[in-house]
Amino acid sequence: MHIGFVPTMGALHAGHLSLLKAAKAENDLVICSIFVNPTQFNNLEDLKNYPRNEASDLALLKQDAHCDLVFIPTLEEMYPQDKTSVLDIDLGILEEVMEGKFRPKHFKGVATVVHRFFEIIQAKRAYFGKKDAQQLAVIKNMVKQLELDIEIIGCETLREPNGLAMSSRNLLLTEEEKNKATIIAQTLFQMKEKSAQYSVEELKKWGASALKKEIKLDLEYLEIADANTFQMIDDFNTCDAAIVCVAAKIGKVRLIDNIILFA
Ligand code: AMP
């Protein structure tokens, strides 16, 4: 019997459900986990404020035909020995750029908790969203390094009709902020359209200035990288696939998004 596994931090939305649907299509049994993992938060305030909606998550999963079993572990179950110890692996450049740079220790925490889940749940396949593209690369890297017997599947980003990438953190935005946040996706879409005519530097400049027009937006980074290695690029001809990644705060809420320019 093949198990498909979808790890989440809860506050579920249609993006999460799309992962469950993909898992159900390829496996006999689908397990969804809900666990807000403290070791991947580099900011206590962020951990405290992370949206938690267990009752409505369970109601949503009950209605959803694609989830067979929900696993909501305790901190002790996930970290039976030391609640702060992290997996000892070298994630290389993934830990040094973009999310790795701006959220120190984040990816070690992600790799640790996902590795622990893979120990507990002997899944054939695990499903992750491309919205967290760098995280997906971290998981693939970890699986390869540790030679784990599991297939990692990346699923497309689900968006609101106005383009905003679905995210649990959107729950923390006011209606006004949610409208302002659409500039992130709109800028990414336009950058993709312009990418054939612009150099990497010109495109980055254009994107950053488009985002800065929204005064409620505080840009953390806007980078163009090799979509396979996450190495920054300064020439489109030097890679087979390119990705734009962005992190920005709208008010107090930190959002990330990305778009593949070509692959
Ligand atoms: P999270 O609960 O935010 O940790 O997300 C759990 C999984 O859902 C991760 O693999 C995310 O990449 C994925 N995910 C989050 N948002 C989306 C989205 N808008 N579309 C598709 N997958 C998503």
Atom of ligand 1 nearest to the CA of 168: 3
CA of 10 to the centre of ligand 1 (A): 10
**pTM passes above 0.95:** yes
pLDDT higher than 80, residue 241? yes
CA of 152 to the centre of ligand 1 (A): 14
Ligand 1 mutation target, pool 6, 9, 16, 31, most atoms within 8 A of CB: 16
Quote the pLDDT of residue 148: 98
| Active site amino acids | 16
Quote the pLDDT of residue 156: 98
Quote the pLDDT of residue 83: 76
Q: Please state the rounded mean pLDDT for residues 53-63.
A: 97
Report the alpha-carbon angle 229-235-241, nearest 5: 40
Atom of ligand 1 nearest to the CA of 169: 3
Sheet of strand 125-129, all strands in order from the earlier edge strand to the far edge: 69-71, 29-34, 3-8, 125-129, 151-155
**Three-state secondary structure readout of 55-123:** HHHHHHHHHCCCCCEEECCCHHHHCCCCCCCCCCCCCHHHHCCCHHHHCCCHHHHHHHHHHHHHHHCCC
82 band by pLDDT with thresholds 50, 70 and 90: confident
CA of 237 to the centre of ligand 1 (A): 31
Ligand 1 mutation target, pool 12, 32, 131, 169, most atoms within 8 A of CB: 131
Ligand 1, atom 6: closest residue by C-alpha: 8
Q: Please state the rounded mean pLDDT for residues 25-30.
A: 98
Quote the pLDDT of residue 84: 79
pLDDT higher than 90, residue 240? yes
85 band by pLDDT with thresholds 50, 70 and 90: confident
Atom of ligand 1 nearest to the CA of 131: 12
Ligand 1, atom 12: closest residue by C-alpha: 129
Q: Please state the rounded mean pLDDT for residues 103-112.
A: 97
The percentage of the chain sitting over the pLDDT mark of 90, rounded to a whole number, equals 97
Ligand 1, atom 11: closest residue by C-alpha: 129
CA of 199 to the centre of ligand 1 (A): 31
The percentage of the chain sitting over the pLDDT mark of 70, rounded to a whole number, equals 100
Contact 155, 18 (CB under 8 A): yes
> What mean pLDDT value characterizes the chain?
97
Protein residues whose CB sits closer than 6 Å to any atom of ligand 1: 8-9, 15-16, 18-19, 128-129, 131-132, 155, 157-158, 165-168
Strands 29-34 and 242-250: unpaired
Quote the pLDDT of residue 123: 98
**Alpha-carbon separation of residue 198 from 174, 184, 213 (angstroms):** 35, 19, 20
Q: Which two tokens stand for residue 105?
A: 């220790």
254 band by pLDDT with thresholds 50, 70 and 90: very high
pLDDT in tens, 162-206: 999 999 999 999 999 999 999 999 999 999 999 999 999 999 999
CA of 170 to the centre of ligand 1 (A): 12
Contact 145, 114 (CB under 8 A): no
